[in-house]
Structure 1
Amino acid sequence: MTGIADAVRRSTELRKPLTALINKGCVPVGGIYRLDYDSAIVLTDDFKKHKAGGVPRGGFLLAVAGENTESGFMLEDQEVILLRVRGTAPLPNESELIQTRLAVVRDAGASGVGFDDVTDVLTRNELQQSAFDCEVLGTFYTETDARDAQIEYGADIDNVVVSARYQVFLPSIEVLSWLASYPEPVDNRDALAIGKVRFAATRRKALVAGTDQADVRVDVSDFIGRKTAVFGMTRTGKSNTIKTLVTAVHRYGSEHKRSIGQLIFDPQGEYANVNKQDKTGLRLLGDDDNTVRIYKVEPNSTDIREKPLRINFYDREVLDAGWSLVSEATAPVNTNYSKDFRSAVLSEPDRNDRSAYNRWGWAMVAFYGLLAKCGFQGSSLPQELIIAAQADPMNAFMAANSGAVIQAGRPGSYRVLTSAGALALAEWVGERPGEFPKWHERSNCHFVDIWSVYKYTGVTSAIRSIRAFHGAQSAGDVGEHLWQDMLAGRLAIVDLSSGNDKVAKVMSERIVTHLLNRASERFRADDDPVDMQIIVEEAHNLFERGGRDVADDPWVRLSKEAAKYRMGLIYATQEVTSVDKRILSNTSNWLIAHLNSDHETRELAHYYDFKVWAPSIMRAEDIGFVRMKTYSGKFIVPVQVAKFDHAMVNNARNTAGLASIDFQDEGE
């Protein structure tokens, strides 16, 4: 009976969660001989390391108190200490071992024989001993000893013992995958196999041991409505990571019947187009503009997914956007005339303030005339422009420029009909300060500030550089179009590859500001927030670190206010230091590839425990090799991110009810 009882007891013990975990192929590599609350020294030897398939720097180890039995390893208590290898540690007799090793090397070299020939078995065993210096990451435990008890995790240990009963195991492939994915999503639909565990650039031991096949699964919901940073040098896989995440969120929305809009600012056009090499691309997630919209300066008229990324600079509904683009384009021209020009205020005043409204009208005459002079096409103005002036000089102008301006009813009131008419009137008035003295007073009107740059090619050439963003037939605000896309749960890609960095910065900031303002309106109205994600590639070109107040910086506003609006942000850049600290402090998910500067890794070291990974981040340049910390993840996990491929696209399409794509012909 005693034997039967022991067998039942052992069987019951082996089914306990953490005991079962250790017995899932984990390999013993040594034992702890020193432990404190933050670190542990693990005694091992070359034979155990070889049998385990190698122990990489940064690798996970599991320390447990218990004993080996014929049935398996039995834990004394249901808790497992998670360790991470930081490096090697000296043994207490290290100086003696060094002297012995020195003698072995000297004798073997002098006699021309192998090392084993000049040592006995006991000496060889002694020389093969070594130790790992490990960081204590935390403790896996169960609150009860029941077989169905839930495994919990604490980011520390709550007791330190000096018992030599702590044995240390290298996780098996299955257990390593469980560790790297902890805690796995409750709903399997929320899981994304983002890649495989990878501890080192050199992968020979991992390939032999099979640990390169340990999957890393993340909870897709971690990336929805939160901030995600993707850092790395050029060609280290940032875009691949973003495509993988965007596709996963798209699939997640379909699976949960949840509308999640995604907006990508694309500075190089790599998201807006199909990749010519592998013929994949995010635009393939949808077949029409109900699902995907791509905003381009020169859209393809045969593809309904492509929309114009243009505004009508003559349309007063987008006056602020047009004036911002013009001001930014001329910013490099640093003359007094250009500074006075940019100081002009074109915000439309209250129509009931006739004096202010008329002064503004004359400033608009100069602005519309400047646009026409710089080649911005468009005959009739979208909205009427009424100005007031004395009859005599205006009659002379109208006689010389038939059809440019007409009377607007009451005496002294005139209507400017076309952009060409605005140009003709501006040049006429500008050349005749004696006849129109009122509009040449800077304190009275911004007309002269704008007209004064007509003859300066530096300013006019700069304005001509943004003509591609003008569309005479464009209606409304691109920002509002994108807001409607977010309401509809579409994937919207803004292709900024045709403009310069200044234009891209102004355009993106204005769009983000518009989305924030619209989301704020819904919040104040107590309406349900709109789920949306904003994705920014080459973020260092758009973010401006430090300089502005929160109210003036839409990216900082996004990091601070977006949580209550359910607006997520994924930003990718080469430089940690280019991102405002207020954004970094509100970032929940981190994926860090190769960085080549200790200036960047020092900044990164302020967050979580990336300091430990700094040497690896600087040394390993492998594409797609990242160190990842997610919102629900308890510790940093090194990952080889999976390559974005056809299967990911078709999986997302099928989930949305669309047919798979035959990629043989796509993109040709």
Structure 2
Amino acid sequence: MKHKMRGLRSVYLEAIELPFVWERLVLADDLLSGITRDAELGRSTDAGRELANYLDPELNIGELLSINYQDAQVLVHDYARQKVRGLPHGSFLVASRINLDASTEVPAEDEETALVLLRIVGDYQLPNARQMEDYRFQAGMRATDSEETWDHPNRVDEWTKNNLSYGGYKCRVLGTFRMKEADDGTYKFSFGADLVNYYSGRGMKVYKPIGRLLSDIVNFQKTVGESEFGDAGRLRVGRVRFAASEIGVDETLDNVPVEVDPTDFVSRRTFYGGMSRGGKSNAMKITAKAVYLLRAKSASARVGQLIFDPNGEYANANIQDGGSIRSVHEAISGVEYADEIATYGLNEHPNDPQRKIVKINFYGARPTNWADSTAVGQALEQLIVGKQIIATSLGEAGEKYILAFRDADIVVPDDLSGRGDQIRLRREVQVYRGILKAAGFEAPSQTVDIRGLFSRDLRTAMQNNRCDGDNQTNITAAATILGNDSVSWEDFADALRGLLLFMEERDSGWTDFDRGYRDSHEGRPWDRGTINNLLQIFKYPNGVRSFMGLTKQHSARSTTDYAQEVVRDLRLGKLVIFDQSTGDPDQNVAAAERILWAIFNRQKADFVEPSVDDDGEIVPPPPVMVYLEEAHNLLPAAGGKDDLRTIWARTAKEGSKYRIGMVLATQEPSSVMPAILKNTDNWFVAHLNNTDEVRALSKFYDFEDYAHQIKSISDPGFVRMRTLSNPFTIPVQIDLFKARSE
């Protein structure tokens, strides 16, 4: 009973004390909530003041008359224009209702706490425009017989002059800046490329941004995903420039530095458009340098870059650059040239002893074991590549005998264990090599080994041929030559011409020989068609002359395919410069396409069948960038039927997936395949003097706002820039590239 009473008393006491405990807890919670609210209010007020601090009453240039989701109209007085040193076409304005004399809280989603970003795109006719035109006209007539201008106080009264000083600007609405609360509770300067709302019955003050505000506007970087290189930092590429006739350059006002994120270019497509001497090459060099310097931030941030150099200005020192981009490695201390830069060219250069000569051995190497299919394939790799180069150079049009040679395939079988298969392949290879020598390709030896390739039965049939006159004599002489173990290349070529006669002349005896061969070899013919097709090139003297121009790409001493060497250097993260200044234009195109195919196929193979690191993570292909200077000389013409099957279109459409970035520069944007421009992320647009070219670019982003400026202003380096992380286009004067930093 005593124990039971103690329990009841405990319950009674708890019932009495609980309200007091709960009240204390509620008071404590209210106190904490109040502290939290005060802290949040303090942060938001500080953020509001930060937003208000961006604005300067002295930079107020007028009133926002009207606005919608795309356009705005601004009222401006001449005094305000003069006070802020002009308002050129394309310049930025900000409109806001922020009270500059009071603290501003941020959380309200209203224009009271936002900066609306505008761009001047033209004039706006005020409602009283007709009346003001009449005033101007009358004042102008009164001034025609005087040296005074029509706005002189003697010609117009102050009230009228003041009214005439008002004008209107038509502006493009670019979006909204506001202080937005981040995950960590702090407020950060943020941007949205639209309006969340607008009010037709409310006015806004309009300011010209300069200094810090202008810098934060033009250098604002939107989030485009997590970079594999982490915080790579930003690099200056130039300064803001709105007009060719700018008053002066003062970085504290409207000519602030413009920076880019180098990672914007990695695995992306970049376009440089402009007339010759407009600064395209200069901008490309600055881009290449910015990407190269990523490795200074992180040893793993090595991006392979390949520059096709049509004029030699990237590979060779020049006065304009104070050297060449080959010197970019000097910007990072302790970096050796051979480890970072690789140059390729058709010819050696006295100032570049480490240059790799871009020639292949069209003859291939001599296999040590003809029974090993893999070893034979490796030895003949350059021969097969050379055959492909010749086939490409011959094109689709031509005489039947040339096309037959073009289409003759030399294929290494998977199984070469049979002696007959070995002899057949050796015979085809030596016949092809004999044709190369006849076309002027330097041979790796003085004689050609033909031991055992042309049987006694064949030679006997040739000696007993039933032709008449010179044909009979030539075929018989050929049989004699083919009976030797080794002969001179000249004699071998004569023998091949005789063999062609034997295989094609009526009643020569070839048909009987081939029938007997088939009977004794289980129906297999002596020639599967390859020999006959190859020999067609000897039908007429012009045959071997049709590809003599390719001898410049041949070296009997070459041991590797330069396309595969380029791929290896790129995958090591090197800056590769391919000097094409001394090459034939058609051969340059063919070489560029072959290299790009090699890059594409290797990157694709790594994507489709990736390797795995020690932690079991998939290893993506290494990033690679390809620069096409004078791209209209390399890219196929827009509008062709097979555009989408070219390596250029495939790289443009699929390259990002395989981590291949494409950078192209051209004077003719309209010549670029739409498939490429539609997949372009970064843009640098300089002067273009043709309406059609300007119209081609006006289809993309907001370049239409600058169409008149692009066509009329030809100052070198004055570009309209938009990169992956830029939410709007920025007019920039690109810095002059210098090979060596001061």
In the TM superposition, 1:496-575 aligns within 5 A as 496-527=580-611, 528=619, 529-544=621-636, 545-547=638-640, 552-575=645-668
Q: Which residue of 2 aligns with 1:124?
A: 161
State the TM-score, normalizing by the size of structure 1: 0.85
Evaluate the alpha carbon distance shift between residue 363 and residue 119 of structure 1 in structure 2; reply closer, same or farther with a 3 A threshold.
Answer: same
Q: Does 1:86 align with 2:104?
A: no
Aligned-partner Cα distance in 1 for 2:90–2:446: 65
Evaluate the alpha carbon distance shift between residue 346 and residue 551 of structure 1 in structure 2; reply closer, same or farther with a 3 A threshold.
Answer: farther
* Deviation at residue 559 of structure 1 after TM alignment: 2.0
Per-residue CA deviations over 1:283-335 (Å, capped at 9, x if unaligned) read 11345322111111112478453111011111120234312322333349733
User: Which of 170, 193, 196 is residue 158 of structure 1 equivalent to?
Assistant: 196
Q: Does 1:45 align with 2:77?
A: yes
Q: Which residue of 2 aligns with 1:429?
A: 499
One-letter code aligned to 1:426 = L
CA contact (8 A) 2:342 2:355 kept: yes
In the TM superposition, 1:416-495 aligns within 5 A as 423-433=493-503, 434=508, 444-454=528-538, 456=540, 458-495=542-579
One-letter code aligned to 1:283 = R
Per-residue CA deviations over 1:460-494 (Å, capped at 9, x if unaligned) read 34422121110111112212211211222111111
Per-residue CA deviations over 1:562-605 (Å, capped at 9, x if unaligned) read 22322211111222222222222221111111122222222222
CA contact (8 A) 2:52 2:100 kept: no
Q: Which residue of 2 aligns with 1:64?
A: 96
User: Which of 137, 142, 152 is residue 174 of structure 2 equivalent to?
Assistant: 137
Q: Which residue of 1 aligns with 2:285?
A: 243
Structure 2 unaligned segments of length 5 or more: list them.
1-40, 330-335, 365-379, 461-475, 515-524, 612-618
Aligned-partner Cα distance in 2 for 1:72–1:52: 26
Evaluate the alpha carbon distance shift between residue 207 and residue 303 of structure 1 in structure 2; reply closer, same or farther with a 3 A threshold.
Answer: closer
In the TM superposition, 1:217-228 aligns within 5 A as 217-228=259-270
Aligned-partner Cα distance in 1 for 2:564–2:423: 29
Aligned-partner Cα distance in 1 for 2:204–2:452: 88
One-letter code aligned to 1:638 = P
CA contact (8 A) 1:296 1:496 kept: yes
Q: Which residue of 2 aligns with 1:297?
A: 346
Evaluate the alpha carbon distance shift between residue 264 and residue 569 of structure 1 in structure 2; reply closer, same or farther with a 3 A threshold.
Answer: same
CA contact (8 A) 1:333 1:458 kept: no
Per-residue CA deviations over 1:521-561 (Å, capped at 9, x if unaligned) read 22233222212211111211222235465884222222233
Per-residue CA deviations over 1:400-435 (Å, capped at 9, x if unaligned) read 548x963xxxxxxxxx88866753542342344436
Of Structure 1 and Structure 2, which has the larger fraction of its residues in strand? 1
Aligned-partner Cα distance in 2 for 1:11–1:388: 90
CA contact (8 A) 1:362 1:387 kept: no
Aligned-partner Cα distance in 2 for 1:419–1:225: 49
Q: Does 1:638 align with 2:731?
A: yes
Per-residue CA deviations over 1:362-398 (Å, capped at 9, x if unaligned) read 5544432221012211234999989854414448778
Q: Which residue of 2 aligns with 1:34?
A: 66
One-letter code aligned to 1:596 = N
* Deviation at residue 349 of structure 1 after TM alignment: 4.4
One-letter code aligned to 1:16 = R
One-letter code aligned to 1:42 = V
Which deviates the most, 553-562 or 442-451? 442-451
Q: Which residue of 2 aligns with 1:216?
A: 258
* Deviation at residue 44 of structure 1 after TM alignment: 0.4
Matched residue SS, 1:557:
helix
Evaluate the alpha carbon distance shift between residue 367 and residue 150 of structure 1 in structure 2; reply closer, same or farther with a 3 A threshold.
Answer: same
Aligned-partner Cα distance in 2 for 1:340–1:374: 16
Q: Which residue of 2 aligns with 1:410?
A: none
Evaluate the alpha carbon distance shift between residue 208 and residue 291 of structure 1 in structure 2; reply closer, same or farther with a 3 A threshold.
Answer: closer
One-letter code aligned to 2:600 = L
* Deviation at residue 93 of structure 1 after TM alignment: 0.7
One-letter code aligned to 1:267 = P
User: Which of 103, 108, 119 is residue 138 of structure 2 equivalent to?
Assistant: 103
Give the greater-gyration-radius structure (CA).
2
Q: Does 1:586 align with 2:679?
A: yes
One-letter code aligned to 1:224 = V
CA contact (8 A) 2:265 2:661 kept: yes
* Deviation at residue 144 of structure 1 after TM alignment: 4.7
Matched residue SS, 2:62:
strand
Q: Kindly, what percent of the aligned residue pairs are identical? A: 30
Aligned-partner Cα distance in 2 for 1:360–1:599: 55
One-letter code aligned to 2:592 = S
* Deviation at residue 351 of structure 1 after TM alignment: 4.5
Evaluate the alpha carbon distance shift between residue 10 and residue 95 of structure 1 in structure 2; reply closer, same or farther with a 3 A threshold.
Answer: farther
User: Which of 709, 716, 728 is residue 623 of structure 1 equivalent to?
Assistant: 716
Which deviates the most, 447-456 or 116-125? 447-456
CA contact (8 A) 1:262 1:489 kept: yes
Aligned-partner Cα distance in 2 for 1:548–1:618: 31
User: Which of 336, 340, 343 is residue 407 of structure 2 equivalent to?
Assistant: 343
User: Which of 216, 220, 227 is residue 182 of structure 1 equivalent to?
Assistant: 220
* Deviation at residue 516 of structure 1 after TM alignment: 1.6
Matched residue SS, 1:564:
coil
Matched residue SS, 1:631:
coil
Q: Which residue of 1 aligns with 2:470?
A: none
Q: Give every structure 1 segment of 4 or more consecutive aligned residues whose post-TM-superposition deviation is greater than 6 Å.
A: 8-11, 70-76, 184-188, 353-360, 381-387, 395-399
Aligned-partner Cα distance in 2 for 1:530–1:208: 42
Evaluate the alpha carbon distance shift between residue 552 and residue 121 of structure 1 in structure 2; reply closer, same or farther with a 3 A threshold.
Answer: closer
Q: Which residue of 2 aligns with 1:412?
A: none
User: Which of 441, 445, 462 is residue 376 of structure 1 equivalent to?
Assistant: 441
Say what the alpha-carbon RMSD is for the aligned residues.
3.7
CA contact (8 A) 1:453 1:459 kept: yes
State the TM-score, normalizing by the size of structure 2: 0.77
Q: Does 1:308 align with 2:373?
A: no
One-letter code aligned to 1:516 = F
Evaluate the alpha carbon distance shift between residue 373 and residue 134 of structure 1 in structure 2; reply closer, same or farther with a 3 A threshold.
Answer: same
Structure 1 unaligned segments of length 5 or more: list them.
1-7, 407-415, 652-668
Which deviates the most, 483-492 or 428-437? 428-437
User: Which of 607, 621, 628 is residue 700 of structure 2 equivalent to?
Assistant: 607
Per-residue CA deviations over 1:163-217 (Å, capped at 9, x if unaligned) read 45300011113322221111289987521111111122222x3547975631111
Equivalenced residues, count: 630
* Deviation at residue 158 of structure 1 after TM alignment: 1.4
* Deviation at residue 68 of structure 1 after TM alignment: 4.8
CA contact (8 A) 1:41 1:133 kept: yes
